[in-house]
Amino acid sequence: KNEVEQSPQNLTAQEGEFITINCSYSVGISALHWLQQHPGGGIVSLFMLSSGKKKHGRLIATINIQEKHSSLHITASHPRDSAVYICAVRSSGTYKYIFGTGTRLKVLA
């Protein structure tokens, strides 16, 4: 079993839909990151969370430390949101990050 599990693996949505991507982890962490990998391959960091909730534009990320679970929400989805979304955790007391396998999102116009 992977230490970081994401669901779903693939997601197709219609433009305007509300989208939720989930991440569960099994290790102690100091922070959780959500990353976006564009179709061209580049990776950018969207959020870094250690507790609570963060919002940036149409993106919302939440984390529940007790349940070891995080969600990434996209409101009013748009085709330009099509990408792979990756959850990564920083293992407590280390410099190491553990990555999920990603959720491939396709938003149809």
> What residue ranges bind another protein (CB under 8 A)?
2, 4, 29-33, 41-45, 48, 50, 86, 88, 90, 93, 95-102
Least CB distance from residue 92 to another protein, whole Å?
A: 8
Listed in sequence order, the residues at least 6 apart from 32 whose beta carbon sits closer than 8 Å to its beta carbon are 23, 25, 48, 49, 50, 63, 70, 87, 88, 89, 90
Which CB sits closer to another protein, 77 or 87?
87
Residue 82: CA atoms inside 13 Å, Cβ hemisphere, count? 12
Q: Name which of 43 and 108 has its Cβ closer to another protein.
A: 43
CB of 48 to another protein, least distance (A): 5
- What is the C-alpha separation between 23 and 26, in angstroms, rounded? 10
Specify the residue, 17 or 27, whose C-beta has the smaller distance to another protein: 27
Cβ at position 94, least distance to another protein in Å? 8
User: Measured from the CB of residue 109, what is the shortest distance to another protein in angstroms?
Assistant: 27
Nearer to another protein, 7 or 108 (CB): 7
What 8-state DSSP symbol labels residue 3? Answer: S
The whole-angstrom separation of Cα 67 and Cα 12 is: 27
